[in-house]
Structures are given as C-alpha cells and as structure tokens.
Amino acid sequence: MSDEENLVDPSHPRYHSLMIRKKVAAAGEKGMLADSAMIAHGRGEAFDYLIGEQTIPSALAATKEVAARLLRARKPVLSLNGNAIALASQEFLTIASQLNCPIEINIFYRTPERMGALLAHLKLMNTKLGLDVEILGGVPDARIPGLEGPRGACQSSGIFEADTVLVPLEDGDRCEALVGMGKEVLVIDLNPLSRSSKRGTVTVVDEVTRFAKNLIQIIPERPPATEWNNIQGLQSALNHITETMANKFV
C-alpha cells in the first residue's frame, strides 16, 4: 500500500469503511490472504454501502439469535477464514473465550504458508489479550463430506464434531456441506442473496466487525433461542436495500 493510500481523512463520509479496508490490505501484506480475498472484501463493501454501513434491525435480531444458538450448543466452534481473522481476530478470540469454545482456521485456498501466517497471528493475539483460546486447523485429521481437495480438510475435535458452527464470510459450497452434516450453521454475510446466506440456519446480514462487537455485548445477556425464520430475516435485509434505492432520483 502506498503512502498516499495510507492516508485516510477522519472526516471522510466513509472513514470507518476505509479503515476496515486498510486492515484487509495489511493482512494481505503479511501473507494471510489469498489474492481473491481483496476482491471478496470489495464485494462486501458494496453490500455494506447499500445497507448504509450500519447494523440494521433485522441483523441485530439475527445476532441475538446467533448468541442464543451458540450458548445453547453442546459443542460450538468458530470457523474463521483469512478475511475474518484480518478484520476481527481480537473480537473473535474474545467471543471464543466467553463461550469457552475453540476457533478453527478453515481457509478456502489452503497453503502451508497462509495457514502458518494465520495461526501465528491468532496465537500472538491470544497471548496479547491474556486469553487461552484453543486454536485449531493446523493439523487437519478429518474431512467435510462432499468437498474436494484441501478445502474439505478440518479437525475432528473442531468443525467435524461440532453441532453448531459460526461461519463469517463462508463459501457457499462449504456452507451447504456443513448444513448437510446436520449442523446448525450461523452465517455472517453482507450479501442477503448469497448461497451461504440462503442455506444458513441463522444469517446475520452485517459487516463482520460490527457483528462481532455486537455479539460480545449480547452474549452476557444470555438470550433464549427462538423458532427462527431465516428467510424472513433475509427478505427484511433486501427490503432495507430496495427502500434505499426506490425513487432515489425521480
């Protein structure tokens, strides 16, 4: 990133969005991300722009449901990819500590270098925060049925045996495969039309940093799980976008 790109004016209307972007760029430079991660982040930025770069009411309701499902779970796990770790590693370590559950690093384009960089980053943050969260993913010993190649690798004590998996920014194929294993899959995705959003048990249409900060606040309240209508939540997010667009100009 050039010096010029590094300067962000706090008065810029999209200051928070630009600061989040800088986190992704910095993680890319540390070798934590696949090339496609920047593009994926840009897609998310566009949807966040359309929902107004804010936590909309249906997303807050979904976040409460996610908290309830994680608290109810027998064996929950937070499945984090490169972008989730780049954006909110501190927050997810705090959440895992609140829930006393492991984090499993699970990346789509797995290379030893990228896994090493992500493991090192999370372990460093774990120590910095004085936490003792179990970090899985480095030694995969099981497979998610139906996924070919390295993207199906997972750890038996983590994702494989979990009954409830939190998947921020998950690939559609993997989300479907986890649902197919009978798990509760809790999705964070800014695109309400994505396959992950549609297949998830509970989908939060929100930016991952905002979601994680909200979840930290909500977990101590120990909300009860409800009969969740995920499709209704997604339509509500779409309606928020279309209301922004309708009669914008004429």
Candidates 9, 10, 227, 249; binder of a copy of itself (CB under 8 A) is: 249
Q: Which residues pair with 77 in a beta bridge?
A: 165
Cα 8 from Cα 16, distance rounded (Å): 10
Residue 226 gets the label, from left (phi > 0), alpha (psi -120 to 50) or beta, of beta
Residue 250 binds to a copy of itself (criterion: CB under 8 A):
yes
Q: Which of residues 144-173 bind a copy of itself (CB under 8 A)?
A: 149-150
Cβ-based neighbours of 198, under 8 Å, separated by 6 or more: 231, 234
User: Is 128 near a copy of itself (CB under 8 A)?
Assistant: no
What's CA 188's distance to the chain center, in Å?
A: 5
Task: State in angstroms the smallest separation of the CB of 231 from a copy of itself.
Answer: 5
Among 136, 205, 208, 241, the residue binding a copy of itself under the rule CB under 8 A is 241
Query: What residues have CB less than 8 Å from 57, skipping those under 6 apart?
Result: 236
- In angstroms, give the least distance from the CB of 218 to a copy of itself: 25
Residue 38 near residue 24 (C-beta atoms within 8 A)? yes
Contacts of 225 (CB under 8 A, 6+ apart): 65, 68, 69, 72
Q: Ramachandran region of residue 146, left (φ > 0), alpha (ψ -120 to 50) or beta?
A: left
DSSP bridge pairs for 75: none
Range list of β-strands (E), the chain:
76-80, 103-105, 135-136, 142-143, 153-154, 164-168, 184-188, 202-204
Residue 139 interacts with a copy of itself (CB under 8 A): yes or no:
no
Of 13 and 130, which CB lies nearer to a copy of itself in the complex structure? 13
Q: Which one of residues 111, 127, 156, 217 is an interface residue with a copy of itself (CB under 8 A)?
A: 111
Q: Which residues pair with 135 in a beta bridge?
A: 103
Q: Contacting a copy of itself (CB under 8 A), which of 119, 142, 181, 238?
A: 238
Among positions 2-61, residues that touch a copy of itself (CB under 8 A) are: 2, 4-5, 21, 24-25, 28, 34-36, 38-47, 49
CB of 149 to a copy of itself, least distance (A): 7
Q: Which is nearer to a copy of itself, 73 or 199 (CB)?
A: 199
Report the nearest approach of a copy of itself to the CB of residue 93 (Å). Answer: 25
Closest contact distance (angstroms) between CB of 99 and a copy of itself is 30
Element (H, E) at 236: helix 230-245
Residue 124 found at the interface with a copy of itself (CB under 8 A): no
Binding mask 191-220 for a copy of itself (x = CB under 8 A): x-x---------------------------
* Residues in contact with a copy of itself by the rule CB under 8 A: 1-2, 4-5, 21, 24-25, 28, 34-36, 38-47, 49, 109, 111, 149-150, 191, 193, 231-232, 234-235, 238-239, 241-242, 245-250
